[in-house]
Structure formats: structure tokens, C-alpha cells
Structure 1
């Protein structure tokens, strides 16, 4: 029976990719291998056949959020994974390795590690002008019971920062998890805090350290995905700034952002020519995003972009729309906008 369920789940994964795979691939950053991402998603379905019972679009949107972050859906790799919650609702979860990967993408971090301390280990640390953290243990001796967890970051400029939490402190966070509460109440049969406590504890201390590091739109979105597990502490996570403030700042300090690199340059000549020759209004295929998954300001701007792309747009106006999209912080909305621009360009080419 278990093999049959796995086969059904695998078929559902292939069906989803056949219908929406191009959208997932469009959301992937350039450094992510699309074929490997696809294999990971299919394996995730096989390893968790319950995903086959979930609404297909719900699963798609959860995977889309992970794809836009540039993380692999692979429980063994530890970047991100999928779970099935109450009412067969799928949810993406991020591992501590995924959070570390996103933090290192800023270019300001040289190394980022997380670990656990046992009672027979040796730990030395100091804060101040000569901040350091050293963890030593005998690889061949009995290390004893778990006592604490830590995360250490070394910046490109040579500075160091770290965070520590005792087992008891991580348990206080665990006890505020909806999944853990449901597990203790026998409403669900499993939760990562029960099956992979050490990994979850490392993620907890990594999250606490990351809040002191330089933030990015990707990290903001990562916290939004992860905070669904901890609604009582979600308010302390990084949040979106006002879209108008971001757009104004971007125009003052223009920069290129992958997929929307038009703040300093004119529209590519081929697209401009296609627009000039197009005579029919263009219907851009919608990429639906559930309410509450994004910053409302970003969503309102996305809706406006979609409406304008239903008709011919001048190169000057297209440049403005791309600048607005480049200022989006919500990853799902940015991916949806990128898909809308791609569909517009493709249909303009077909109409030419």
C-alpha cells in the first residue's frame, strides 16, 4: 500500500510540473539547477505521499515560494521541505541550512555555522572588541547529553558575531509552535520538533542571530514562510517596508536586479520593436497568489501591472513598470510579475 501511495504521489508531482512547471522554472534564480529542483520536488512527493491528498494549487504556491528563494525542496539537504498540516493543508518549511544559504548570499558573510554543545564539550567565547566563539570536543569520547546550541557568523571584514541558546530556551520556542501543540494534543501524528529536534533547535538559534544581520527581500520572505509555524512570535521577524519608500530609494540609488534590470537601461530593442508592431491587445496569463501571502502594497502594484499588460505598453511605461516590480520585496509577487512580463513579451512576439 505504501508503494502504491508513493506512486500516486509521484504521478501528482509530474502532473503538476506538466501544468505549471514553466512558472516554477521562471521563478528560480539563475544559480539553481531547474532539473535538479524538479527531481527534488518529485522525491518530496514520493517521501510524503500525503501531499497527493492536498489541493494541487495549494502545493504549487508553497513550492513557488521556495523556488523564488532559490532553495531546494529536500529534507535531507536541509534547505526546505514540505509538510501536510491540519485539513490536508500543505506548508513549506525552511531548514537552518536554507536560512544560512540566504544569509550568505548578501556577500557580506564569509562563513556561517551552527552546532550543538554537549555536557563534556569545551566552549570558550567572549563579546566585545575581540569577539570570538570556540567549541572543542573529543571526537572519540562520550560527549554526554545536549546542553546548548549556537550559531556563529564571520563577516567578510573579519568581524564575528554569535548567538547561543540552552536546550531549555529552545524548548520555550518549541512550545509556542502550532505543530508541536497539535502533536502534544494528539491532533497530528508527527512534527519536525518530534522527529528532528536537534535540527529544529539549530534553526531556532540561527533565526535569532539572523535578525541582527543585514536583511534582504529574500530573507524577509523566508521569515514570512517560517513564521506561520510560530504565530505568537511572528511580529518580531523582519517585515516589508512601504513600497513607495522602496521605489523612491531605488530610483535614488538605481541598481540591477535579476529579472528586472531596467532601472538604468533602455528596453531591449527586440522587445521595443515587437511592441511597436503589435496591434492586438494582449491577455497576460495570470499567476494567482493567495491573499495574505504577500505585502498588500506589493499586491496592489502587481494587479496594476497585470492590468496594464493586457494592452500595448510603450517602452517608457514598460521601464516604469519594471522599476516598480524590481522594488517588490515579496518573492511570490516578484515571481508573478516576472512571469507576467515574460508572457507579455512572448505574446507581443507572436503578434508581430
Structure 2
């Protein structure tokens, strides 16, 4: 066992140069992060086994800590090294994602909360604080029925995103980790910490509305690719829910953001989106985008799949 730990420790310390080459947050210290990584892997027999079987994954995970700018410090609860799909992966918590957004100036603060059946909850618009009242000490709040994330932007605006528990579970059911738990009983974050994963899922959806920063984009991209947490894409052959509709149009706006010629699409489209409290609002958002038809067509070309059409406030 000691030889195994020594092997993995050497692999981790050998990443010093690559860690420094991609470091995005100078407050991170290689020595401390290396120790956190060694403690995490050596403290779990299964993690150590996977690390030895796939040593390159350990190197990749530690390097990603620097590239994304997130810490393994257990006191911060931002990120963890976990065994998944035969490799060691860097897993970023919902707290880590919100901390990244705040550290990069995208938002001033963020809060993610679960809503229980006995709670009193009211959504007052996407651009306002929701009303959520409950007894935090009650043992009879009922089952979880949803989750929400509210942030305050650097401009002082509030942005709120909500998801029902059915929407969260739909995404959970399509994850490889959950499928392995159902089929083989293999523990995963969805089985051990469902509340935390629900918040994380909502944060990953909500960030599409937030001002963009490279580090946050990198973290989300990592989770959706190497991290194996990709959100399901809207299907072209089935009706979509209003929340999916939001994702489609926001995704379109993000493509537009990358083009200087379409900067007004982003500005006016975002303003319209903040007012879109229903499907009719989404239709108005479409109008804002549609005014720039030819330029929009060029910007939307890379987007896979067909866009959802909205007419008279209903989705076909």
C-alpha cells in the first residue's frame, strides 16, 4: 500500500511544471493542492486502485485544478477528486461553481436552495428575488419538490432560475453515474448527496443567464465533457418545456455574443429575456433576434439541431 501511495504521490508532484504553466488563479499553491490530492486518493482504497490503473487521469485532474482555478481544500468544499468511469476526475461542487463566478466578477453573490412541499415559495419574475419562507428547524418540511438559484450581478440585477424535482431527476436519470448506481448499486453523488447534486444541476443551467467569464465557461465545459455530467440536449422530435426553450434561445444569444457584428443581439436579447416570464415573453425574445435575420443565420450556423419555433406564445 505504501508503495502504491508513493507512486501516485510522485505522479502528482511531477505535474508541478504543467500546473504552473496553466495556472489561472495565482492564489492557488501547488504544494497545498498536491497534498490535498494525495490525501484524497490515499484515503480511499477504491480511489487508489483506480488511480493506479489510470495514472494519466490523476495527472489530468490535478492539472485541471490549475487550469480552472479551483481548490481541493476540504474546508472550502469547492472541488473533489473522485473515481468515475475508470478514472480519477476533478468534480466541482455547486459551491465551487458559484465561487468561481464571484471570484471572476461575473456576479456579486449567489445562493442555491431546495424547496420542500411544506415550504411557501413564489417566483416573482426571473429578474427579482423569489419569496421563500420555511421553518429551517422543522422535521416535517416534506419531500423536495424543486430547487432554485438566485444571483446578484455586478450591475445590481437579480437573476433567478428554478427547476422542478422532475426536471432535476430527468437529468439525473441520464447520467452514467446514476445508471451505474441503478444497475450495480455503485455509489455516486446522486445517491449519496441528492440535494447537493440538485443544486449543482440548477446552477449549471442558471449560469447561462449570467455574465460570462472564461474560467466559469471552462469549468462548465469540463463538467459536461471530461467530468461526464453533460446536460441533455433538446430533442428535435419531441415537445420541449419552457425551461428547455429558455436554454435554446440563451444558447443562440451566446453564439451571437461572440460576433462583434451581433453585439446588439446580445444586449437587446438579454433585456428581453429578463422580461420573459412566460412563453409569450420568449416569443418577444425571438422577435428581437429575428430583426437581424441574415446576421443571426450566420451566427447560428454552428448550433447543432433545429431551433424551437414559438408562435402565439405556445411551443410546437
Give me the TM-score of the superposition, normalised by structure 1.
0.59
Aligned to 1:200: 197
1:84: how far off? 2.3
**Distance (Å, rounded) in 1 between the aligned partners of 2:190 and 2:125:** 31
Q: Does 1:81 align with 2:118?
A: no
Cα pair distance change 1:104/1:128, threshold 3 Å = closer
Cα pair distance change 1:154/1:92, threshold 3 Å = same
Q: SS state of the match for residue 220, structure 1?
A: helix
Q: Does 1:71 align with 2:70?
A: yes
1:53: how far off? 2.4
Aligned to 2:6: 11
Higher mean C-alpha deviation, range 69-78 or range 203-212? 69-78
Aligned to 2:166: 168
Aligned to 2:94: 96
**Distance (Å, rounded) in 2 between the aligned partners of 1:226 and 1:154:** 24
**Distance (Å, rounded) in 2 between the aligned partners of 1:10 and 1:115:** 38
Structure number with higher relative contact order (C-alpha < 8 Å, ≥ 6 residues apart): 1
Aligned to 2:34: 38
Q: What is the 5 A alignment of 1:237-252?
A: none
How large is the RMSD of aligned CA atoms in angstroms?
3.0
Cα pair distance change 1:177/1:74, threshold 3 Å = farther
Q: SS state of the match for residue 135, structure 2?
A: coil
Structure 2: stretches of 5+ with no match in the other structure: 235-246, 260-316
**Distance (Å, rounded) in 1 between the aligned partners of 2:146 and 2:4:** 38
Cα pair distance change 1:231/1:164, threshold 3 Å = closer
1:185: how far off? 2.0
Cα pair distance change 1:19/1:234, threshold 3 Å = farther
Aligned to 1:136: 133
**Distance (Å, rounded) in 1 between the aligned partners of 2:126 and 2:205:** 19
Q: What is the 5 A alignment of 1:1-352?
A: 4=1, 7=2, 10-28=5-23, 29-47=25-43, 48-73=47-72, 77-86=76-85, 88-127=86-125, 131-142=128-139, 143-186=141-184, 189-228=186-225, 229-231=228-230, 233=232
1:197: how far off? 1.0
**Distance (Å, rounded) in 1 between the aligned partners of 2:73 and 2:49:** 16
1:50: how far off? 3.0
**Distance (Å, rounded) in 1 between the aligned partners of 2:66 and 2:4:** 20
**Distance (Å, rounded) in 2 between the aligned partners of 1:105 and 1:124:** 29
CA contact (8 A) 1:9 1:52 kept: no
Cα pair distance change 1:158/1:232, threshold 3 Å = closer
Question: Residue by residue, what CA displacement relative to the aligned partner does 1:129-169 show, whole Å, maximum 9, x if unpaired?
Answer: 7x221322223322222221111101122210111112111
Number of residues paired by the alignment?
236
Structure 1: stretches of 5+ with no match in the other structure: 247-352
Aligned to 1:291: none
**Distance (Å, rounded) in 1 between the aligned partners of 2:16 and 2:204:** 31
CA contact (8 A) 2:80 2:90 kept: yes
**Distance (Å, rounded) in 2 between the aligned partners of 1:26 and 1:207:** 27
**Distance (Å, rounded) in 2 between the aligned partners of 1:21 and 1:133:** 45
CA contact (8 A) 2:223 2:230 kept: no
CA contact (8 A) 1:71 1:79 kept: yes
